[in-house]
Amino acid sequence: MTIDSTFWVAVSFFIFFGGLVYLKVPQKINEILNKLIADIKNEIDESEKLRTEAKTLLDNAQKKLDTAQSVSDEILEQAKKDSDKLIIELNDKFHKSSEIKKNSAEDKINHMKESAIKEIKDASVKIAIDSVKKIITTSVDKSKLDNLFQKNLNETKEELKKISS
Pairwise CA distance, residues 148 & 133, whole Å = 10
Given this model, what pLDDT does residue 134 score? 77
Given this model, what pLDDT does residue 118 score? 87
What parts of the chain have a pLDDT lower than 50? none
Taking each helix axis as running N to C, give the angle between helix 5-22 and helix 25-139, from 0 to 180 degrees, rounded to the nearest 10.
60
Given this model, what pLDDT does residue 1 score? 58
Pairwise CA distance, residues 10 & 48, whole Å = 49
Given this model, what pLDDT does residue 3 score? 80
Pairwise CA distance, residues 17 & 25, whole Å = 10
pTM: 0.40
Given this model, what pLDDT does residue 136 score? 63
